[in-house]
């Protein structure tokens, strides 16, 4: 029996059509797109086509607004650092507490360099307070960077509205849309978003290629200077094969957009309902009414996530966890902590993320596999006794250290 | 995913002695919910002989926490309490054929649970000396609290110092940024400013030798020549340096002993856990570096094995 892959927010299988499209660019059409001769010229035309496919997926007005990069992280760094470089008189960045480390670590670094960083808090469902956000929009803010969808819970932020608010205040708005692109329809030309980051490998393209969308007219300072590639906005020889793959992946993502929001969503809902119907003391984290169609993040109380993953892995099911142990840190996921999920549950969160390749059979298998694993681990837990948590867990088990 | 040994997997998938022991008369609760690890160890001890008749565990934690708990219960059964207390966290890790550095704290938790259970049985108060911070050096599993405490206790001011005292930063060097950050904060706290070591691609192995043969230098830059030490003064100085390093080695259950001084050659013996430790050569390098700095001359630290030592004394 093949293994079940429910970790598509981490990375995805490369689409077969995508692989076929990129292969000739390793051996037959290996030219440098900057070259004048026919070897290079062919590649240049293929890149143009890929750029237009991405433009279409994002609903961008011009294909020159698409800049290919090496990954989502590079796009994030380029966007935020560009905004600061281009507006040296502005020293403040606004972001959220639940961003991906690609943005959060950079912002922490900027704070240590003397910039002011406002991290918008979230409520228990992972939602932002827009009145609070509005109160922070002043002339010192160089850029607002807010993720479109959260990678752990799938919760969607109202980035289009937030971008409008920033734009009206004359502030650049960047969104890390790595998890959203390909899963939710995006129409940038009718938005006020100035910059957007995406990553190829989250939408069935290979790893090592990303995109920065840069609205025409947005002041920009490149991160990498050198050759004239990407109109001088991202120097370095193009990763031609992967960019071409990215283009095809973008086309395929548009084709599957409806499937993602109907069939994938149905399977996700079935998985969630199936598990929650049988496993007590478990709940969905984030905002269930406003999230990506493919993501289910479930907290299993009184047990630890890594242990769950190891046992799932043993029966051929791949998922991921926000537990401290899976990352090697001592704190559980910053996203769970930000939502004020109690430690007894935060360590036991498991993220199931589906894709267009997920089948009904696979979901049935996972629904059957999860309850006994949770029961097995609870049997070992000092917070669990018989068929429920011990009475007053905080008192019944009070460790000496800690 | 973690690189767990087969033994860890075995104890995780099929844990031994899971659940509380009936009629337990020694209970040790340790861990911290915020860290995602908590363990209750229950023992049944024969009041006549102090022998552990049965052991059980309940663990909230990851794969290696559960495996460490299971291993611990297997290890202590049949031992007297005193013998059981001799089990170190390294013994637990060894029993499991090793743990990844990020997971060594799981074995520490096992040892702490044992101490707590014995204290509970004997009606003693247990001193809580446990503190753990985020991991800084992944090569040697050194956390921030350890780095910070060592910097404070020994007034360290360079990354190299930190490596010599704690091993942190002695491997891949990727954590040097983190160590510099802690140093900057700690130095600021004592009113000093962190100054980074000069950029150099090659380790300055040859530099001290050059210093030993001072070239004629402009008068203004001429360093004050270290006053010539008598042999006795010199040996005392060496002893002082070793005494300063000793607590760091003892923390890892090791030690160092001065055997002989012969010109530039300083013979030492590494004992305890230092014997056969893969880190021994690095530890020696650290000791040598400290001695060179303290004595202001180039010296060579030479390890002496027990056998060679005996021979030398003959």
Residue B137 marked in a binding site: yes
Label residue A366 by pLDDT band (50, 70, 90): very high
Query: A179, A147 in Cβ contact below 8 A?
Result: yes
Q: Tell me whether residues A400 and B126 touch, CB distance under 8 A.
A: yes
Nearest-angstrom CA–CA distance, B106 and B60? 11
Q: Tell me whether residues A323 and B133 touch, CB distance under 8 A.
A: no
Nearest chain A residue to B18, by CA: A380
Q: In Å, how far is A143's CA from the nearest CA of chain B? A: 27
User: Which residues pair with residue A382 across a beta bridge?
Assistant: none
Nearest chain B residue to A383, by CA: B60
Q: Is residue A288 part of a domain?
A: yes
Q: Tell me whether residues A324 and B35 touch, CB distance under 8 A.
A: yes
Q: Exposure of A16 by Cβ count < 10 A (0-12 exposed, 13-18 middle, 19+ buried)?
A: exposed
Q: Is residue A225 part of a domain?
A: yes
The fold of the B131-197 domain, in CATH, is Arc Repressor Mutant, subunit A (1.10.10)
Q: Can you give the three-state secondary structure of chain B, one letter per residue? A: CCCCCHHHHHHHHCCCCECCCCCCCEEEEEEEHHHCEEEEEEEEECCCCCEEEEEEEEEECCHHHHHHHHHHHHHHCCCEHHHHHCCCHHHHHHHCCCCCHHHHHHHHHHHHHHHHHHHHHHCCCCCCCCCCCCEEECCCCEEHHHHHHHHHHHCCCCHHHHHHHHCCCCCCCCCHHHHHHHHHHHHHHCCCCCCCCCCCCCCCCCHHHHHHCCCCCCHHHCCCCCCCCCHHHHHHHHHHHHHHHHHHHHHCCEEEEEEEEECCEEEEEEEECCCCCCCHHHHHHHHHHHHHHHHCCCCEEEECCHHHHHHHHC
Q: Tell me whether residues A306 and B116 touch, CB distance under 8 A.
A: no
Query: A165, A348 in Cβ contact below 8 A?
Result: no
Does residue A245 sit in the same domain as residue A264? no
Does residue A96 sit in the same domain as residue A141? yes
Q: At what angle do helices B159-166 and B280-295 cross, to 10 degrees?
A: 130
Q: Tell me whether residues A402 and B116 touch, CB distance under 8 A.
A: no
Interchain CB contacts (distance < 8 Å): A and B: 115
When scoring B38, B57, B143 by the number of chain A Cβ atoms within 10 A, the one with the most, hence best to mutate, is: B38
**Average pLDDT value over all residues in chain B:** 82
Query: A61, A189 in Cβ contact below 8 A?
Result: yes
Q: Tell me whether residues A343 and B34 touch, CB distance under 8 A.
A: yes
Chain A partners within 8 Å of B29 (Cβ): 382, 397-400
Q: Is residue A11 part of a domain?
A: no
User: What pLDDT, on a 0 to 100 scale, did the predictor assign at position B55?
Assistant: 96
The tens place of each residue's pLDDT in chain B, 314 residues long, gives: 678 999 999 999 999 999 999 999 999 998 777 667 889 999 999 999 999 999 999 999 889 999 999 999 999 999 999 999 999 888 999 999 998 877 887 888 898 899 999 999 999 877 666 566 788 888 887 889 989 999 998 899 999 989 888 888 888 888 999 999 999 999 999 999 998 888 777 654 444 444 444 444 444 444 444 556 778 888 888 888 888 888 878 877 788 888 888 778 888 888 776 665 656 666 777 788 888 888 877 788 887 764 444 444 43
- ipTM score: 0.82
Is residue A71 part of the annotated active site? The answer reads no
Chain B partners within 8 Å of A311 (Cβ): 13
Query: Residues of B at the A interface (Cβ-Cβ below 8 Å)?
Result: 1, 12-13, 15, 18-19, 28-40, 57-66, 102-103, 112, 116, 126, 128, 130, 132-135, 138
Q: In Å, how far is B239's CA from the nearest CA of chain A? A: 37
Residue ranges, CATH 1.10.10.1100, chain B:
131-197
A265 pLDDT above the threshold of 90: yes
Which CATH number goes with the domain that contains A61?
3.40.640.10
- DSSP-based three-state secondary structure for A326: helix
Nearest-angstrom CA–CA distance, B298 and B292? 5
Q: Tell me whether residues A325 and B62 touch, CB distance under 8 A.
A: yes
Does residue A383 sit in the same domain as residue A302? yes
Q: In Å, how far is A303's CA from the nearest CA of chain B? A: 6
The lowest-confidence range among A84-88, A351-355, B251-255, B275-279 is: B275-279
Contacts of A35 (CB under 8 A, 6+ apart): A41
* Residue A83, domain extent: 16-255
User: What pLDDT, on a 0 to 100 scale, did the predictor assign at position B241?
Assistant: 85
Catalytic option among A130, A284, A325, A367: A325
Q: Tell me whether residues B59 and A382 touch, CB distance under 8 A.
A: yes
Q: What angle do CA B41, B43, B48 make, to 5 degrees?
A: 155
Does residue A270 sit in the same domain as residue A239? no
Identify the residue whose tokens are 């040859």: B206
Q: Is residue A10 part of a domain?
A: no
Nearest chain B residue to A328, by CA: B102
Smallest Cβ–Cβ distance between B30 and the set A306, A332, A401 belongs to: A401
Task: Return the structure tokens found at B283.
Answer: 């530890």
For chain A, what is the total number of helices (H) and then of strands (E)?
16, 15
Nearest-angstrom CA–CA distance, B213 and B129? 49
Query: A199, A72 in Cβ contact below 8 A?
Result: yes
Does residue A56 sit in the same domain as residue A84? yes
Task: Return the structure tokens found at A401.
Answer: 């250290």
Nearest chain A residue to B35, by CA: A330
Nearest-angstrom CA–CA distance, A386 and A378? 9
Does residue A243 sit in the same domain as residue A279? no
More confident residue, A251 or B100: A251
Query: B248, B267 in Cβ contact below 8 A?
Result: no
- Cβ of A331 under 8 Å from any chain B Cβ? yes
Q: Is residue A9 part of a domain?
A: no
Residue B274 marked in a binding site: no
Does residue A248 sit in the same domain as residue A263? no
Which residue in B118, B68, B70, B114 sits closest to B94, CA to CA?
Answer: B68
Alpha helices in A59-151 (DSSP H): 72-86, 101-112, 130-136
Nearest-angstrom CA–CA distance, B43 and B75? 12
User: What pLDDT, on a 0 to 100 scale, did the predictor assign at position A301?
Assistant: 94
Label residue A339 by pLDDT band (50, 70, 90): very high
Does residue A155 sit in the same domain as residue A37? yes
Nearest-angstrom CA–CA distance, B272 and B130? 23
Label residue A394 by pLDDT band (50, 70, 90): low
Query: A213, A196 in Cβ contact below 8 A?
Result: yes
Q: Exposure of A11 by Cβ count < 10 A (0-12 exposed, 13-18 middle, 19+ buried)?
A: middle
Question: What is the helix (H) or strand (E) element at residue A327, kind and residue range?
Answer: helix A324-327
Q: What is the pLDDT of residues A182-231, one digit of tens each?
A: 999 999 999 999 999 999 999 999 999 999 999 999 999 999 999 999 99
Q: Tell me whether residues B36 and A332 touch, CB distance under 8 A.
A: yes
Smallest Cβ–Cβ distance between B66 and the set A302, A343, A380 belongs to: A380
Q: Tell me whether residues A310 and B12 touch, CB distance under 8 A.
A: yes
Query: A175, A18 in Cβ contact below 8 A?
Result: no
Label residue A327 by pLDDT band (50, 70, 90): low
Q: Is residue A341 part of a domain?
A: yes
Task: Return the structure tokens found at A103.
Answer: 């943005």
User: What pLDDT, on a 0 to 100 scale, did the predictor assign at position B130?
Assistant: 58
Which residue in B117, B8, B106 sits closest to B55, CA to CA?
Answer: B117
The fold of the B231-313 domain, in CATH, is GMP Synthetase; Chain A, domain 3 (3.30.300)
Q: Tell me whether residues A401 and B130 touch, CB distance under 8 A.
A: yes
Q: Is residue A3 part of a domain?
A: no
- DSSP-based three-state secondary structure for A237: coil
Which CATH number goes with the domain that contains A278?
3.90.1150.10
Which among A255, A288, A305 is the end of a domain?
A: A255
Does residue A288 sit in the same domain as residue A212? no
Contacts of B45 (CB under 8 A, 6+ apart): B25, B26, B51, B52, B53, B81, B121
User: What pLDDT, on a 0 to 100 scale, did the predictor assign at position B304?
Assistant: 75
Number of domains in chain A: 2
Which among A255, A286, A308 is the end of a domain?
A: A255
Does residue A227 sit in the same domain as residue A270? no
Q: Tell me whether residues A343 and B40 touch, CB distance under 8 A.
A: no
Question: What is the helix (H) or strand (E) element at residue A92, kind and residue range?
Answer: strand A92-96
Nearest-angstrom CA–CA distance, A233 and B227? 61
Q: In Å, how far is B56's CA from the nearest CA of chain A? A: 10
For residues A2-24, give the mean pLDDT.
Answer: 97
Task: Return the structure tokens found at A225.
Answer: 């200077």
Name the percent of chain A lying above pLDDT 90: 88
- Cβ of A344 under 8 Å from any chain B Cβ? yes
- DSSP-based three-state secondary structure for A14: coil
Nearest chain A residue to B39, by CA: A382
Query: A326, A309 in Cβ contact below 8 A?
Result: yes
Does residue A98 sit in the same domain as residue A154? yes
Does residue A169 sit in the same domain as residue A278? no
User: Could you confirm whether domain B6-122 is CATH 3.90.1010.10?
Assistant: yes
- Cβ of A397 under 8 Å from any chain B Cβ? yes
Nearest-angstrom CA–CA distance, A96 and A355? 27
User: What pLDDT, on a 0 to 100 scale, did the predictor assign at position B172?
Assistant: 87
Q: What angle do CA B283, B288, B291 make, to 5 degrees?
A: 130
Residue B106 marked in a binding site: yes
Q: In Å, how far is B182's CA from the nearest CA of chain A? A: 13
Contacts of B265 (CB under 8 A, 6+ apart): B299, B300, B302
Determine the straight-line distance between the first and last CA of chain A, rounded to whole angstroms.
Answer: 44
A35 pLDDT above the threshold of 90: no
Just list the catalytic residues of B: 35, 106
Nearest-angstrom CA–CA distance, B55 and A65? 66
User: What pLDDT, on a 0 to 100 scale, did the predictor assign at position B207?
Assistant: 42
Q: Is residue A265 part of a domain?
A: yes
Which among A228, A255, A282 is the end of a domain?
A: A255
Which residue in B250, B104, B238 sits closest to B165, CA to CA?
Answer: B250
Question: What is the helix (H) or strand (E) element at residue A242, kind and residue range?
Answer: helix A240-255
Query: A333, A322 in Cβ contact below 8 A?
Result: yes
Q: In Å, how far is A221's CA from the nearest CA of chain B? A: 27
Nearest chain A residue to B16, by CA: A380
Count CB neighbours of A209 within 10 A: 29
User: Ranked by mean pLDDT, which of A85-89, A318-322, B90-94, B243-247 comes out on top?
Assistant: A85-89
**What sign has the CA pseudo-torsion A345, A350, A353, A354?**
negative
Among A residues 361-380, those touching chain B with beta carbons less than 8 Å apart: 379-380
């Amino acid at each position: 029996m093949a293994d079940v892959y429910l970790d598509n927010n981490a990375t995805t299988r490369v689409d077969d059509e995508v692989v076929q499209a990129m292969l000739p660019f390793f051996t037959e059409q290996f030219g440098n797109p900057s070259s004048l001769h026919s070897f290079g010229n062919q590649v240049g035309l293929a890149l143009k086509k890929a750029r237009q496919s991405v433009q279409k997926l994002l609903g961008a007005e011009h294909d020159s607004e698409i800049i290919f990069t090496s990954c989502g992280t590079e796009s994030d760094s380029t966007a935020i650092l560009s905004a600061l470089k281009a507006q040296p008189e502005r020293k403040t960045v606004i972001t959220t507490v639940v961003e991906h480390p690609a943005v959060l670590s950079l912002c922490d670094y900027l704070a240590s360099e003397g910039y002011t960083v406002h991290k918008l808090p979230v409520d228990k469902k992972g939602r932002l307070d827009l009145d609070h956000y509005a109160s922070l929009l002043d002339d010192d803010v160089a850029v607002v960077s807010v993720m479109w969808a959260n990678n752990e819970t799938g919760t969607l932020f109202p980035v289009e509205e937030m971008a409008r608010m920033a734009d009206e205040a004359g502030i650049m708005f960047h969104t890390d849309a790595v998890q959203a692109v390909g899963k939710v329809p995006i129409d940038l030309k009718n938005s006020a978003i100035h910059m957007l980051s995406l990553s190829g490998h989250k939408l069935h393209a290979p790893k090592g290629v990303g995109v920065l969308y840069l609205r025409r007219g947005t002041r920009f300072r490149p991160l990498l200077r050198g050759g004239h590639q990407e109109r001088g906005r991202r120097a370095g020889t193009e990763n031609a094969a992967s960019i071409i793959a990215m283009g095809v992946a973008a086309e395929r993502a548009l084709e599957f957009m409806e499937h993602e929001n109907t069939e994938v969503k149905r399977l996700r809902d079935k998985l969630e309902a199936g598990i929650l119907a049988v496993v007590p003391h478990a709940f969905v984290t984030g905002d269930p009414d406003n999230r990506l169609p493919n993501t289910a993040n479930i907290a299993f109380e009184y047990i630890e996530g890594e242990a769950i993953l190891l046992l799932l892995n043993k029966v051929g099911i791949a998922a991921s966890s926000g537990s401290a142990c899976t990352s090697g840190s001592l704190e559980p996921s910053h996203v769970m902590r930000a939502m004020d999920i109690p430690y007894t549950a935060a360590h036991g969160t498991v993220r199931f993320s589906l894709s267009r390749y997920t089948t009904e059979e696979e979901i049935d298998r996972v629904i059957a596999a999860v309850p006994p694993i949770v029961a097995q681990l609870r049997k070992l837990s000092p917070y669990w006794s018989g068929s429920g948590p011990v009475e007053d867990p905080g008192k019944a088990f009070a460790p000496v250290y800690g | 995913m973690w690189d767990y040994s087969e033994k860890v997997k075995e104890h995780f998938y099929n844990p031994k002695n899971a659940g509380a022991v009936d009629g337990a008369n020694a209970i040790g609760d340790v861990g911290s919910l915020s860290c995602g690890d908590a363990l209750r160890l229950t023992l049944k001890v024969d009041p006549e002989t102090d022998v552990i008749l049965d052991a059980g565990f309940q663990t909230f934690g990851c794969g290696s926490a559960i495996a460490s708990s299971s291993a611990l219960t297997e290890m202590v059964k049949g031992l007297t309490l005193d013998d059981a207390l001799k089990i170190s966290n390294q013994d637990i890790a060894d029993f499991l054929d090793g743990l990844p550095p990020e997971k060594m704290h799981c074995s520490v938790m096992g040892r702490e649970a044992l101490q707590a259970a014995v204290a509970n049985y004997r009606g003693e108060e247990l001193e809580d000396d446990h503190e753990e911070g985020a991991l800084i050096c992944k090569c040697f599993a050194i956390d921030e609290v350890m780095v910070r405490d060592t910097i404070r206790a020994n007034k360290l001011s360079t990354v190299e110092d930190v490596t010599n005292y704690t091993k942190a930063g002695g491997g891949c060097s990727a954590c040097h940024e983190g160590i510099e950050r802690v140093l900057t904060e700690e130095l600021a706290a004592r009113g000093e400013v962190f100054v980074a070591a000069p950029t150099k691609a090659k380790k300055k192995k040859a530099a001290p030798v050059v210093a030993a043969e001072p070239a004629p230098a402009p008068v203004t830059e001429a360093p004050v020549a270290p006053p010539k030490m008598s042999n006795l003064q010199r040996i005392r100085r060496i002893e002082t340096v070793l005494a300063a390093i000793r607590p760091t080695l003892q923390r890892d259950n090791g030690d160092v002993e001065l055997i002989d001084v012969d010109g530039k050659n300083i013979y030492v013996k590494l004992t305890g856990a230092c014997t056969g430790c893969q880190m021994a050569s690095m530890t020696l390098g650290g000791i040598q570096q400290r001695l060179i700095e303290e004595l202001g001359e180039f010296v060579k630290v030479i390890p002496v094995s027990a056998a060679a030592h005996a021979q030398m004394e003959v």
